[in-house]
Amino acid sequence: MKTLVGRFRSQLDPLALRFSSSLDVDRQLFREDVEGSIAHVTMLVKQNIVSSSEGNTIRKALKEIEREIEKGRFTLNGKAKYKKRFVGEDIHMAIEQRLMEKVGPLGGKLHTARSRNDQIALDERLYLRRMTRQILKLIRHMQRAFVAKASQYDSVLMPGYTHLQRAQPILLAHHLLAYVSMLDRDYERFGDVLKRVNRSPLGAGALAGTPHPINRMVVARALGFDGLVENSMDAVSDRDVLIEFVAHCSIVMMHLSRFAEELVLWSSQEWHFAEIGDAFTTGSSIMPQKKNPDMAELVRGKTGRVYGDLIALLTVMKGLPLAYNRDMQEDKEPLFDAANTVADSLAICCSMLKSVKFDAKRFENELASDSLLATELADYLVRKGMPFRKAHLIVGDLVHVCGERKTSLKDLPLVEYRKRSQLFEKNVFTMLNPRASLLRKRSAGSTSPREVRRTIRRLSRTLRR
């Protein structure tokens, strides 16, 4: 009988194999690949496509392979610690080859009614689901850390900034809680993408489906999916959920980078608002006095790489005709990098935040300049019936006079106020108290102590769930 050799008459050139192999990257999908394969063969048994005994043999061998990889007994694309070593195209072929070594030709039945195209898409969705859930937990940990820190410093005043210029007095707790709001939107985004991630592409085949009497929903339910990616071409050739996930990763990193930037500034001698714990800073190789905010700087730096991951994915996908194309092999490296970077950055930022000590006295000293209360004077006139734009001009003129005379608003004589408006009375100077200015804030979500305490109580309850 003639030996079957398939379509090709020569092996892949070693250079071409090395160039095209993704095993160094996608090897971390081995658990997802085994999980998906077990669910697939279970369905094949249920549909009488393979026998029960064949299915049991394949399932048992797959679990053994998973343990071998975990314990290093089956080395992927590297030096074998024990006996087995595989050098090949990807993790999917590596596991299939090892399966056939274990159970012989029977292992080839696992690929019945399945293509690597829908197999890869399935593995990626299983990975995305796991990492999304992990990131959701890490976001909640970070939010709780911010709320705890806000509660610890709930009565500390600080100058609020716009354009990096001192603007108005606020509570430090209010500033910290702004990050909780940012992270809340991040949490919503990841929760939303999880709905689209959690659909099974398996059963789409290479692009057209399969003639075998499979039941796609059996596999979907076994793997905990909510439904199917219906169109078989879309199922194997679309990477929207990866792009959406990495886009959300980019936004999280942007938020963390803003926080990191503030820690870098605030921990400097010029600002000296905060001190990061020693465990999250480093020294200099030459200057003994240095205490560098390296972890914050690294988060800030890694943000750019996650942005690059998003652009890489969009660029890979932008010109691909339907259905699957080998270009899509390049989706995994940016996906894994973005997911791991966000998870690591959330974990380090959460721990770093817990170590931070804020200098309440330093904050208070920076409020000595009452120019931060200029808006209070404008609102004083508005409450007496003056249009805000006119009040703004009058108070701006008073601030200019203070600058020329090198004095403060509270030390400016009342006569100077009344030269500009007869609406100014003796009680105008009560406006020039930072803490009192906070008490006058009435709007929901403001920096008033009442609003901040209410927010802390609410978040303490909701984030406990």
Checking if the pLDDT of 305 tops 70, the result is: yes
Phi, psi of 373 (to 5 degrees): -100, 15
Supply the DSSP string of 216-253, one letter for each residue.
HHHHHHHTT-SEE--SHHHHHH--HHHHHHHHHHHHHH
- Confirm if 440 and 433 have CB atoms less than 8 A apart: no
Residue 24 is predicted with a pLDDT of 84
What percent of the chain has a predicted confidence (pLDDT) above 70?
A: 95
How many angstroms separate the CA atoms of 120 and 111, rounded?
13
1 belongs to a structural domain: no
3 belongs to a structural domain: no
220 belongs to a structural domain: no
How many angstroms separate the CA atoms of 357 and 351, rounded?
13
Domain end point (choices 364, 382, 409) = 364
Give yes or no: residues 172 and 269 share one domain.
yes
Residue 369 is predicted with a pLDDT of 76
Domain end point (choices 111, 134, 166) = 111
209 belongs to a structural domain: no
Nearest to 293 by CA among 273, 267, 258: 267
4 belongs to a structural domain: no
- Residue 63's CATH number: 1.10.275.10
Residue 130 is predicted with a pLDDT of 98
Q: 383-415: per-residue pLDDT in tens?
A: 999 999 999 999 999 999 999 999 999 999 999
Residue with tokens 């938020």: 255
- Confirm if 331 and 242 have CB atoms less than 8 A apart: yes
Active site residues: 163, 284
Q: 68-101: per-residue pLDDT in tens?
A: 999 888 776 544 444 455 556 889 999 999 999 9
Residue 9 is predicted with a pLDDT of 66
- Confirm if 217 and 40 have CB atoms less than 8 A apart: no
292 belongs to a structural domain: yes
What residue numbers bound the domain in which 374 lies?
370-462
Please compute the mean of the pLDDT values over residues 26-35 and round it to a whole number.
Answer: 94
How many angstroms separate the CA atoms of 74 and 186, rounded?
39
How many angstroms separate the CA atoms of 353 and 344, rounded?
14
Domain end point (choices 111, 131, 152) = 111
Give yes or no: residues 276 and 169 share one domain.
yes
Q: What's this model's pTM, rounded to 2 decimal places?
A: 0.92
Give yes or no: residues 421 and 314 share one domain.
no
Residue 82 is predicted with a pLDDT of 40
Checking if the pLDDT of 200 tops 90, the result is: yes
Q: 307-345: per-residue pLDDT in tens?
A: 999 999 999 999 999 999 999 999 999 999 999 999 999
Residue 4 is predicted with a pLDDT of 56
- The domain total for the chain is 3
Please compute the mean of the pLDDT values over residues 240-253 and round it to a whole number.
Answer: 98
Give yes or no: residues 266 and 131 share one domain.
yes
Please report how the helices 30-46 and 116-152 are oriented relative to each other, as an axis angle in degrees rounded to 10.
Answer: 130
Residue with tokens 């000296």: 272
216 belongs to a structural domain: no
How many angstroms separate the CA atoms of 191 and 420, rounded?
55
210 belongs to a structural domain: no
Supply the DSSP string of 281-334, one letter for each residue.
-B--SS-TT--B-HHHHHHHHHHHHHHHHHHHHHHHHTTPPSS--GGGGGGHHH
3-state secondary structure of 31: helix
- Confirm if 381 and 397 have CB atoms less than 8 A apart: no
- Residue 339's CATH number: 1.20.200.10
CA distances from 264 to 33, 110, 273, 386 (A): 42, 54, 10, 42
Within 8 A by CB and 6+ apart from 452, the residues are 150, 154, 171, 173, 174, 177
